[in-house]
Chains A and B, each alone.
Chain A
Amino acid sequence: MTTVIEKDSIIGKRIPKPDAPDKAVGRTRYINDMELPLMLIGKILHTDRVHATIKSIDVSAARALPGVHAVLTADDVPESLKFGIARDNIPLKGGKVRCTRDEIAAVAAETEDIADQALKLIKVEYEDLPGLFDVHEALEDDAPQIHDDRPGNKGLAYSHHSGDLAAAEAESDIILENTFKVHYVTHCCMGTSAVLADFDADGKLTIYSQTQYPYNFKMDLAPALNIHPGDIRVIQPPVGGAFGSKLDVYPFEPICVLLARATQRPVKLVFSREEEFINAPTRQPVEIHLRSGVKKDGTMTFRHVNSLLNNGAYTSWGATTPYVMMRTFSSHFRLQAISYDAQAVYTNNPYAGSFRGYGNVQATYCTSIHADMMAEAVGMDPISFGIKNAQDEGEVTPQGAVLNDCVFAELLKIAGEKTDFVNKMKTYAAERDKPGRIKRGIGIASSIHNAGGAKIHKSDGCGTILKLDDYARATIITGASEIGQGIDAVLCQIISEELGIPVKDVTVVNNDSAIGPWDVGVHASRTTFIAGNSAQRAARRAKEQILNYAASRANVGAGELDLRGGHVVQSKDGVSVAKLDKVLREMHFKEDSELVMTTDYYEPPSEPEGENHVGDMSAAYSHAVHVVEAEIDTETGVITVEKITSVQDVGRIVNEMGLEAQIEGGIIMGLGYALSEELQIEDGYVRNPNFRDYKVMTAPEIPEMELHFVESQSSTGPLGAKGIAELPTIVIAPAVANALYNATGIRIFNPPLTPEKVARAIWERDQGHAQAAE
């Protein structure tokens, strides 16, 4: 009897996340759930000042409390242990505190209650120093210095200049100039920050971490601890969300390790929700002064950007978001010239980290609003205007990005058609000045983002180890971390596709730095692209090894065979030659036995930025266009977003279910940024460290979402796929702002578009009209 297996594909199918059932029923064991023998609980005393000299700190009563095993202050940690990308942070602060997060003491105790009591027994005397919260004040000549070794309170700076700006200005018929102020938001991971540190008898550290970049995490953590990075093993239990917040080392992590070292016991440290709001990184707030030019015929000419970033007291990845902001300013639409400058300025505010969209959220708010304003100024609709200025396939941007597989104009066209955009926009604009408190508006925004990694480190690679066992089950050991984004399902699919075995027969191992091969980390929408390419290459090597053996066995050419449905088959007709598991066992137990185990290290064909930040730093780029339809109550200022139409270049759909979840989740996160989320920081203090007053979107507020995937078939991506995760968040806020304008004629340059802000802007305009009429 012959078995015939037709060619089939798992790519593009709907594959549930393998971790989903356990998460849904509460079986997943997070760090919060972990307990090790003799484990202690760590707690941190954060300062209650924003800028002050510590005159004295008395921990004697805390140390004397029964059940307390260690109380550490800066005195216990040599000053030299600076960490962070600008080497300006230390785990425990002595001498002076610079922001409300500052960690001044830490306790390890037998229970959480004892640790809390111990913190209350610590007595600190301060002498307050003048606080700096505003970037302009911090740059004044006589401003207090926040760090002695950072003169003028200047942090990192970035600039990019290309094209002839003067000529481009001269050719412009209309020049727009606005200052945008984008705000603080935070990730709101369902799982608060947590870490568990454990030393073995040889002084080697095992750290149970939520990190999304386990391999470089070791390198970054080591200096804070005076430990060799090679002596750190990172184990990654499942995390309750990351979104970029776990892409750096934050003080609670070395502090927990220091407590473990001091007590010679495992120590676990978990933030409360309030601690999380105050101490977890934020999105980078920035003040952006943007001048943009356009010719009467609708050709965009130049952008001139000056921006100041409120660095806060220490430097994390937030201060590096200009890397990405300048990419948006230089490459979101075709330009003749670009001038970009950004300066991070130290203040006594909390500090920002990386956050889904990484600077592009901030930059696209500016570029997409200016595009809307330009279209109106030259009398074009935003779709035609966008298409006119969208780059073509293969075009190179001023920063050297090569836009292969570029379908930007097509996305705009589809968005226009699917939403009847131009007709609706005209209708709503005509209704704007008629009576009635409810107005309707439609708004569009677009952006570009890297979709094939981002070569900001020496390598942007990912390693894979793949093994097949005697039963044709595959295990893929990948450097790529699962942080909820769904990489495990995607890798199972890719292995399944290449080896012709069921998805359920693939196991992913990626939670232990002692086992996994190196990967740069989960960021930059890179994981499906980079880890997917590596997995595919490792699988193809395994397939080649299997087919070579099977071909010699059947006395045919390897090219005549294929793997399908758990069988080795003849490519031409699908007739089974042998079952795959049988072939694997034969290979294993024959005389010159061989196991099918392959490895791969994939380095994408991208280049690091050179001088003037020019370089084709991603192996692929992608665009997204969002259309927002909203109803605005012009009295209360409430914007009700009713529908969002998303059109995104996804390269190729790998897991349709994961893709939808990423895009919908990204849209909802972007809506919170647009409408309601704001970490209110006043004089350095967080005023709303709770979900009551920090308003994330709730289920009933989520609008209808219509998703359109355009498959550009990336020439570099695995099976044609592109990275997709950040664009949905990036493009929402300006689309909402443009819809608000369409409905009311009001432009708001400082999100979020809260009811109060909208109501006030409309009220002030109407007062102005009333006065003008008098």
Chain B
Amino acid sequence: MESITQPGIEAYEAPASIADAVQVLARGDVTVLAGGTDLTVQVDAGRITYGKTLMNIRRIAELQGVSEAGGRISIGALTTVTNILDDDALAQSVPVLRATADRFASMQIRNAATIGGNLVNASPAGDMIVPLLLLDADVELASWRDGAVSTRSVALKDFFTGPGKTVRADNELLTRVTFAKPAAGFAARFEKSGPRPALEISTVSAGVAGTLENGVLSNVRVVLGAVAPTPLRAAKAEAALEGKTLDGDTIAAGAAAACDDCTPIDDVRASAWYRHHLVRVFMERLLTDVAEN
């Protein structure tokens, strides 16, 4: 049996409450462990090193579970991707979450990977970020201040600042993500690239949401992944679609605008050309799907 201690780790903490956890965070130089599916891989690859304290947050019951209150749905940070897949009530009210979870990594990774981890990891290709941006979600960040737990809420669209970077301060713990329960008529769709049904890191991911009434799309949200330093809300595409009749011309205009919104790069997974191409293809598909259903 290998020791769990790794070079650099001096202390291991496994708090049972958010209050205890944020007090540990307040000490500084703490690495937070949830599912570990991103963390351990990145440490092994030498991209990050553990802080002095490794804090396992998996025993904090308050971070678990999906709940609904006052018209808002809250998903605890420790909710796994498998939990999302298995939650029939959630799938009923927000189908796009299950649809996305069904394309996420592999079954083994889904069992361990958490929503909170997927957000904090801030990969431009993070799959679960896309539907949560479509839902205009907020994240809740907790910290220890003046002898008590203090929380603040940040709009998810303002949360990411670059690849692997967010506005979360080192002493803050992401506790949950919340969003307004979608109204009737709200449609949201997700698509990602890749021939593989599993274990496919997104070359491009895309999401479209809005309310379609009498053929007119409103409250439009367009999200693109893996085509910019952060997953992004595609403002030009949203403007091109908002309030328009969702016909062939609008779809083409929306898809073209989405291409203008993104700034993809050439890398080992795809060229910028292919990413642009897929953005257009996915936008056309998603919008057509919304228009037809």
Give chain A interface residues in 459-508, CB to chain B under 8 Å.
none
Residues from chain A with a CB closer than 8 A to the CB of B278 are 636
Are A700 and B198 within 8 A (Cβ)?
A: yes
Are A636 and B268 within 8 A (Cβ)?
A: no
Whether a CB of chain B sits under 8 angstroms from the CB of A760 is yes
Whether a CB of chain A sits under 8 angstroms from the CB of B239 is no
Residue-wise, chain A 740-774 has the 8 Å CB interface mask toward B (1 for contact) of: 00000000000000011001100100000000000
Give chain B interface residues in 189-215, CB to chain A under 8 Å.
193-199, 201
Are A695 and B273 within 8 A (Cβ)?
A: no
Whether a CB of chain A sits under 8 angstroms from the CB of B263 is no
- Docked Cα-Cα span, A99 to B169, in Å, equals 43
Residues from chain B with a CB closer than 8 A to the CB of A692 are 199, 201
Q: A636-B278, A756-B274, A760-B273 are in contact. Are A701 and B268 (CB under 8 A)?
A: no
Distance from A756 Cβ to chain B, minimum over Cβ atoms (Å):
4
Give chain A interface residues in 76-115, CB to chain B under 8 Å.
113
Give chain A interface residues in 344-364, CB to chain B under 8 Å.
none
Residue in A closest to B267 when the chains form the complex, CB atoms: A687
Q: A692-B201, A759-B274, A760-B273 are in contact. Are A676 and B268 (CB under 8 A)?
A: no
Residue-wise, chain B 170-203 has the 8 Å CB interface mask toward A (1 for contact) of: 0000000000000000000000011111110100
- Docked Cα-Cα span, A695 to B196, in Å, equals 9
**6 A–B contact pairs at CB < 8 A?**
A638-B195, A639-B195, A680-B268, A695-B196, A701-B195, A755-B274
Whether a CB of chain A sits under 8 angstroms from the CB of B59 is no
Residues from chain A with a CB closer than 8 A to the CB of B199 are 692, 698
Q: Number of residue pairs across A and B with beta carbons under 8 Å?
A: 44
Residue-wise, chain A 696-710 has the 8 Å CB interface mask toward B (1 for contact) of: 001011000000000
- Docked Cα-Cα span, A366 to B131, in Å, equals 45
Residue in A closest to B204 when the chains form the complex, CB atoms: A636
Are B195 and A688 within 8 A (Cβ)?
A: no
Residues from chain A with a CB closer than 8 A to the CB of B270 are 756
Residues from chain B with a CB closer than 8 A to the CB of A680 are 268
Are B271 and A698 within 8 A (Cβ)?
A: no
Total interface residues in chain B, CB < 8 Å = 19
Q: A687-B268, A756-B274 are in contact. Are A698 and B281 (CB under 8 A)?
A: no
Are B277 and A759 within 8 A (Cβ)?
A: yes
Are B268 and A688 within 8 A (Cβ)?
A: yes
Are B281 and A635 within 8 A (Cβ)?
A: yes
Total interface residues in chain A, CB < 8 Å = 22
Whether a CB of chain B sits under 8 angstroms from the CB of A70 is no
Distance from A612 Cβ to chain B, minimum over Cβ atoms (Å):
44
Q: A113-B7, A692-B201, A759-B274 are in contact. Are A700 and B268 (CB under 8 A)?
A: no
Residue in A closest to B284 when the chains form the complex, CB atoms: A635
Are B197 and A701 within 8 A (Cβ)?
A: yes
Whether a CB of chain A sits under 8 angstroms from the CB of B145 is no
Distance from B103 Cβ to chain A, minimum over Cβ atoms (Å):
12
Q: A693-B268, A756-B271 are in contact. Are A698 and B198 (CB under 8 A)?
A: yes
Residue in A closest to B278 when the chains form the complex, CB atoms: A636
Residue in B closest to A691 when the chains form the complex, CB atoms: B199
Distance from B45 Cβ to chain A, minimum over Cβ atoms (Å):
8
Residue-wise, chain B 261-293 has the 8 Å CB interface mask toward A (1 for contact) of: 000000011110110011001000100000000
Give chain A interface residues in 616-663, CB to chain B under 8 Å.
635-636, 638-640
Contact of A636 among B196, B198, B271, B281 (CB under 8 A): B281
Residue in A closest to B193 when the chains form the complex, CB atoms: A636
Are B193 and A698 within 8 A (Cβ)?
A: no
Contact of B269 among A635, A693, A759 (CB under 8 A): A693
Give chain B interface residues in 219-253, CB to chain A under 8 Å.
none
Whether a CB of chain B sits under 8 angstroms from the CB of A259 is no
- Docked Cα-Cα span, A698 to B269, in Å, equals 17
